[in-house]
């Protein structure tokens, strides 16, 4: 397969597939990669209006880049297959970077978690992440980069997040195994584990008091912000070529291993 990186720092002309790629962390990562000359295939699930506006803004700022958007629910293995098929149809030169941002959280005592809630978290955080890794492994060009966004709660000893932690945890093991399996192709596979981020994802699942506490235990007494995480993802898909099979915790000291 084609697609060797020109150098460890230069990723201009490459192609990135990003799930959840038009808002929040996915959107900010897309902006950063576009600034480096990366062509984008951006998945989104909900608002077409928001996604199209985001696409238009990027095209206006970077007219030489090809920027495509793709709407779909990601629930079955076939959905991930279709995602990568569509990306390769849009970009016949192939895919070099694959970043999975999607996730779902429920906060409640383990004994109150319903089967429906468990199944939904297991689907989004576990099954979809697994088949995203599978399709990325099958479709990336040699010397490609795969990054999954997980959570710093993987290093936390805390109540009320058992289904979230439990359904995110397997991704670490899949990442380690896949990094070995893809080593001969030069493809790196890593996770980034942000601390509690100052986004709607956190604020819709936490009380104001809990948000205040989470901020108080971070560096400088604040939550993790999107600009804290984007440079780490950028590094992993560019000059961080000697890092693979790892989970990088970026939580401002919220958790540590």
pLDDT in tens, 192-220: 999 999 987 788 878 888 889 889 988 99
In this predicted structure, the answer to whether residue 9 has a pLDDT above a threshold of 90 is: no
Residue 139: helix, strand or coil by DSSP? helix
Residue 211 lies in a domain: no
The reported pLDDT for the residue numbered 7 is 47
Determine phi and psi for 31, rounding to 5 degrees.
-60, -45
Residue 6 lies in a domain: no
Global pTM reads 0.94
Determine phi and psi for 8, rounding to 5 degrees.
-70, -20
The reported pLDDT for the residue numbered 8 is 63
Total domain count for the chain?
1
Banded model confidence at residue 13, pLDDT cuts 50, 70, 90: very high
Is residue 209 within a helix (H) or strand (E), and if so which, with residue range? helix 208-216
Q: Which domain holds residue 130?
A: 15-195+226-250
What whole-number distance in Å separates Cα of residue 21 and Cα of residue 250? 20
**In CATH, what number is assigned to the domain containing residue 131?**
3.40.50.720
Residue 1 lies in a domain: no
In this predicted structure, the answer to whether residue 5 has a pLDDT above a threshold of 80 is: no
In this predicted structure, the answer to whether residue 1 has a pLDDT above a threshold of 70 is: no
Contacts 24+ apart (CB under 8 A), 53-61: 54/22, 54/23, 54/27, 54/30, 55/22, 58/30, 58/31, 58/34, 61/34
Residue 156 lies in a domain: yes
What whole-number distance in Å separates Cα of residue 68 and Cα of residue 18? 11
In this predicted structure, the answer to whether residue 43 has a pLDDT above a threshold of 70 is: yes
β-partners of residue 145 are: 97, 188
Residue 207 lies in a domain: no
Residue 220 lies in a domain: no
What whole-number distance in Å separates Cα of residue 134 and Cα of residue 2? 19
Residue 180 lies in a domain: yes
- Percentage of the chain surpassing pLDDT 70? 97
Mean pLDDT of the residues in the chain: 94
pLDDT in tens, 78-96: 999 999 999 999 999 999 9
The reported pLDDT for the residue numbered 2 is 46
- Measured torsion, CA atoms of residues 171, 172, 177, 182, in degrees rounded to the nearest 10: 80
Residue whose entry in the numeric block shows the structure tokens 């941002």: 101
The reported pLDDT for the residue numbered 3 is 47
Helix and strand totals (H; E) in the chain: 10, 7
What whole-number distance in Å separates Cα of residue 103 and Cα of residue 79? 16
- Structure tokens given for 18: 């990003």
- Residue (of 57, 55, 59, 61) closest to 42 by Cα position: 55
In this predicted structure, the answer to whether residue 191 has a pLDDT above a threshold of 50 is: yes
> Lowest-confidence range among 2-16, 26-40, 70-84, 177-191?
2-16
In this predicted structure, the answer to whether residue 4 has a pLDDT above a threshold of 60 is: no
The reported pLDDT for the residue numbered 205 is 77
Residue 200 lies in a domain: no
Cβ count near 26 (within 10 Å) = 23
């Amino acid at each position: 397969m084609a697609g060797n990186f020109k150098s460890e720092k230069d990723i201009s002309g490459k192609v990135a597939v990003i799930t959840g790629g038009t808002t929040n962390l996915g959107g900010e990562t897309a902006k950063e990669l576009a600034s480096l000359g990366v062509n984008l295939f951006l998945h989104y699930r909900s608002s077409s209006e928001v996604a199209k506006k985001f696409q238009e803004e990027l095209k206006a700022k970077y007219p030489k880049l090809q920027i495509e958007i793709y709407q779909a629910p990601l629930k079955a293995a076939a959905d991930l297959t279709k995602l990568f098929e569509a990306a390769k149809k849009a970009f016949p030169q192939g895919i070099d970077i694959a970043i999975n941002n999607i996730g779902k959280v429920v906060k409640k005592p383990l004994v109150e978690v319903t089967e429906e809630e468990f199944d939904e978290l297991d689907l989004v955080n576990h099954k979809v992440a697994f088949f995203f890794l599978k399709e990325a492994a099958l479709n990336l060009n040699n010397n490609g980069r795969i990054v999954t966004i997980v959570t710093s709660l993987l290093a936390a000893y805390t109540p009320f997040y058992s289904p979230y932690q439990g359904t995110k945890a397997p991704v670490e093991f899949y990442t380690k195994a896949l990094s070995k399996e893809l080593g001969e192709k030069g493809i790196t596979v890593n996770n980034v584990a942000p601390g509690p981020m100052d986004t709607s994802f956190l604020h819709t699942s936490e009380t104001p008091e809990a948000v205040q506490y989470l901020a108080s235990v971070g560096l400088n007494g604040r939550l993790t912000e999107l600009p804290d995480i984007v440079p780490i993802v950028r590094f992993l898909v560019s000059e961080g070529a000697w890092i693979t099979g790892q989970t990088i915790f970026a939580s401002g000291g919220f958790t540590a291993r």
